[in-house]
């Protein structure tokens, strides 16, 4: 069995993208972890160069966005602020020491390299794309489905324009053979099979306050809007006063968040100003809830179909029309199709099968990139 070493920092975010990918890789390869929060103090005292001397040979060395986006310009960064939304399992005082170690080690390693690109592709500085090129790394990236340039996004998104760039968009287009396209993945345990007729809310809006979500929120009930306001105010206060994210707080937030979706007949879905295929496109259908909202970059290729497993809308008039015209039976059919799409194509067990095929090709020297087409995972 192939062996992979992950160099990084043990932490939990609200979005579990990185954790899920690492767990899946651990199911198809022998995976080892080295770094703050993963290793004992004795192991950390050795440093990566000395520690690895006594380890077996690894087939792959892997880092995530924290190491891959590092630069000397960030030496004086406020580490606590950098990880303000994460539950940290390491001492931030040693962060700078190890991020520099890992960056240097990865750069000079002769092993096959992988970067887990859990970063914001439209805000990526060019030196990071250059680092990927220089290290000749393969990239596991949910943004491999990006089909929109900044110019295209600005034409499609009717609200506030952001200061975006095409650095990563251009890299993907020019280096398809390096991209392992892995959208967000849903654990099998996250699926909800309860019927819509037993659910409390007809329509909800959850997540970050993108402009289109704020507008859609007006279509929810007064009691839900009040509840949503209180939750966001509490989160804002915690961030303003730098209240540390703990396991209990993270678990409480996630429970409340998922509970809302599971108790909704339908829930609004959008990718914000960058039209990303964010996790909500997968979370909402997996909970047996009808996803109502905007399409995203790679929408059709990931298997979403308007009127079949998703209901596309652009404004509140269309949302109102759906809420008034669709029967529970009609919504249930769409909900069932949505949940089945995620189960068959975007669950952890489905992703394991896909990545196993990919890494077999990599080992054989036959991998030329992967992509999605009409809901099917494919290789070039």
For residue 187, count other CB atoms closer than 10 A to its CB: 14
Q: Are residues 341 and 364 in the same domain?
A: no
pLDDT at 104: 96
355 and 339 part of one domain: no
Averaged over 186-190, what is the pLDDT? Answer: 97
The whole-number pLDDT of residue 75 equals: 72
Tell me: do 215 and 148 sit in the same domain.
no
pLDDT in tens, 271-316: 999 999 999 999 999 999 999 999 999 999 999 999 999 999 999 9
Report whether 153 contacts 247 (CB < 8 A).
no
**65 and 166 belong to one structural domain:** yes
Helix then strand count (H, E) for the chain reads 15, 14
CB hemisphere CA count around 161 (13 angstroms)? 9
pLDDT of residue 240: 65
Name the token pair of 363. Answer: 């080992």
Confirm if 150 and 275 have CB atoms less than 8 A apart.
no
The verdict on 155 and 124 lying in the same domain is yes
Total number of domains constituting the chain: 2
224-247 pLDDT, tens digit per residue, is 999 888 777 776 676 666 677 788
Position 31 scores a pLDDT of 98
State the pLDDT confidence band at 375, using cuts at 50, 70 and 90: very high
pLDDT tens for 352-363 read 999 999 999 999
Cβ–Cβ under 8 Å, residues 304 and 281: yes
In terms of domains, do 239 and 97 share one?
A: no
What's the confidence (pLDDT) of residue 85?
82
CATH assignment of the domain containing 104: 3.40.50
CA distances from 282 to 141, 335, 347 (A): 16, 12, 9
* 195 in the same domain as 121: no
SS (H, E, C) 265-295: EEEEECCHHHCCCCCHHHHHHHCCCEEEECC
**Main-chain phi, psi angles of 377, to 5 degrees:** -80, 130
95-108 helix and 41-51 helix, angle to the nearest 10 degrees:
30
In this structure, are 179 and 200 located in the same domain? no
Query: What's the pTM value of the predicted model, to 2 decimals?
Result: 0.93
**Do 253 and 164 have their domain in common?**
no
Residues 241-273: pLDDT tens digits?
667 778 888 888 888 999 999 999 999 999 999
Contacts (Cβ under 8 Å, ≥6 apart) of 247: 12, 87
* Token pair belonging to 309: 């497993």
Residue 191 has pLDDT above 90, yes or no: yes
Strands 376-379 and 370-373: antiparallel
User: Do 250 and 332 belong to one domain?
Assistant: yes
What is the DSSP code (8-state) at residue 54? G
pLDDT in tens, 77-123: 888 888 888 899 999 999 999 999 999 999 999 999 999 999 999 99
User: 227 and 340 share a domain?
Assistant: yes
Q: For 47, what's the count of Cα atoms within 13 Å in the CB-facing half-sphere? A: 9
For residues 245 and 367, membership in a common domain is answered with: no
pLDDT (0 to 100) of residue 17: 96
Q: What is the pLDDT of residues 115-171, one digit of tens each?
A: 999 999 999 999 999 999 999 999 999 988 888 999 999 999 999 888 999 999 999
Structural domain boundaries, residue 74:
3-185+348-379
Q: Give the mean pLDDT of 322-335.
A: 97
State yes or no: pLDDT of 26 exceeds 90. Answer: yes
Q: Is the dihedral of CA 255, 260, 261, 265 positive or negative?
A: positive
pLDDT-derived band at 206, boundaries 50, 70, 90: very high
């Amino acid at each position: 069995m192939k062996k992979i070493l992950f160099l990084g920092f043990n932490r939990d975010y609200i979005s579990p993208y990185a954790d899920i990918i690492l767990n899946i890789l651990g199911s198809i390869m022998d995976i080892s972890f080295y770094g703050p929060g993963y290793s004992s103090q004795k192991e950390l005292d050795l440093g990566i160069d000395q520690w690895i001397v006594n380890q077996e040979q690894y087939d792959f060395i892997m880092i995530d966005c924290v190491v891959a986006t590092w630069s000397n310009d960030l030496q004086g960064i406020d580490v606590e602020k950098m990880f303000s939304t994460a539950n940290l399992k390491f001492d931030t005082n040693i962060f700078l020491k190890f991020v520099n170690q890992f960056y240097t080690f990865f750069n000079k390693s002769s092993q096959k390299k992988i970067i887990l690109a859990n970063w914001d592709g439209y805000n990526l500085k060019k030196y990071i794309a250059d680092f990927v090129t220089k290290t000749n790394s393969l990239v596991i990236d949910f943004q491999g489905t990006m089909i929109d340039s900044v110019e295209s996004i600005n034409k499609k998104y009717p609200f506030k324009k952001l200061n975006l760039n095409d650095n990563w968009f251009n890299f993907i287009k020019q280096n398809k053979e390096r991209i392992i396209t892995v959208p967000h993945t849903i654990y099998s345990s996250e699926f909800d099979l309860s019927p819509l007729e037993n659910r409390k809310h007809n329509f909800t809006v959850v997540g970050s306050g993108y402009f289109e979500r704020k507008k859609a929120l007006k279509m929810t009930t007064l009691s839900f809007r009040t509840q949503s306001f209180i939750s966001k105010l509490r989160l804002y206060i915690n961030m303003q006063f730098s209240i540390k994210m703990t396991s209990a707080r993270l678990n409480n937030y996630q429970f409340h968040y998922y509970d809302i979706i599971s108790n909704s007949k339908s829930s609004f879905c959008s990718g914000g100003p960058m039209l990303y295929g964010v996790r909500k496109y997968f979370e909402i259908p997996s909970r047996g809830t009808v996803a109502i909202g905007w399409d995203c970059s790679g929408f059709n290729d990931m298997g979403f179909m308007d009127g079949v497993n998703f209901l596309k809308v652009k404004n509140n008039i269309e949302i109102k029309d759906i809420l008034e015209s669709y029967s529970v039976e009609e919504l249930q059919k769409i909900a069932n199709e949505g949940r089945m799409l995620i189960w068959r194509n975007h669950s952890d067990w489905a992703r394991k099968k896909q990545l196993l095929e990919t890494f077999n090709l990599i080992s054989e020297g036959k991998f030329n990139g992967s992509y999605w087409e009409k809901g099917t995972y494919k290789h070039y």
